[in-house]
């Protein structure tokens, strides 16, 4: 199942990749895009997938990964990703994120875009 990427997704992905500036697994740095932002070669990885609307735009649910590391943690080695999230958020933080991921949230792309845009602007 392919999930549509809209402008809110694109803006939020840009925010996450700019926030981290590198792959959080292997350390590979992003290359500058046309605006000089170090985001090329990085992808926005969602610990809880994008189908979970309640955490789709949650910064603590997302990390910058290069393509190889995204494939590894996204498919092959979920336990290593879980251990990373525990180290990053703590046991309680991951439990709270899990509760948030399993809580219903109505889709509101206009609001999600505005929030993602503000997060991005605050980094610049």
- Which phi and psi (to 5°) does residue 32 adopt? -65, 140
What does pTM read for this prediction? 0.92
Per-residue pLDDT, 3? 65
pLDDT digits over 3-51, tens only? Answer: 678 999 999 999 999 999 999 999 999 999 999 999 999 999 999 999 9
Q: How many CB atoms lie within 10 A of CB 39?
A: 23
- Which phi and psi (to 5°) does residue 5 adopt? -100, 115
Which of 123, 8, 1, 95 minimizes the C-alpha distance to 56?
A: 8
Which of 68, 65, 112, 56 minimizes the C-alpha distance to 88?
A: 65
pLDDT > 90? residue 1: no
Q: Where are the domains of the chain?
A: 7-119
């Amino acid at each position: 199942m392919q999930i549509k990427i809209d402008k809110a997704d694109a803006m939020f992905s840009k925010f996450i990749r700019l926030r981290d500036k590198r792959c959080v697994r292997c350390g590979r740095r992003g290359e500058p895009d046309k605006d000089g932002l170090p985001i090329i070669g990085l992808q926005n990885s969602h610990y809880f997938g994008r189908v979970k609307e309640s955490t789709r735009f949650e910064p603590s649910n997302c990390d910058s990964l290069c393509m190889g590391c995204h494939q590894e943690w996204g498919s092959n080695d979920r336990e290593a990703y879980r251990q990373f999230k525990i180290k990053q958020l703590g046991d309680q933080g991951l439990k709270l994120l899990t509760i948030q991921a399993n809580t219903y949230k109505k889709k509101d792309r206009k609001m999600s875009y505005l929030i993602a845009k503000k997060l991005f602007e605050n980094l610049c």
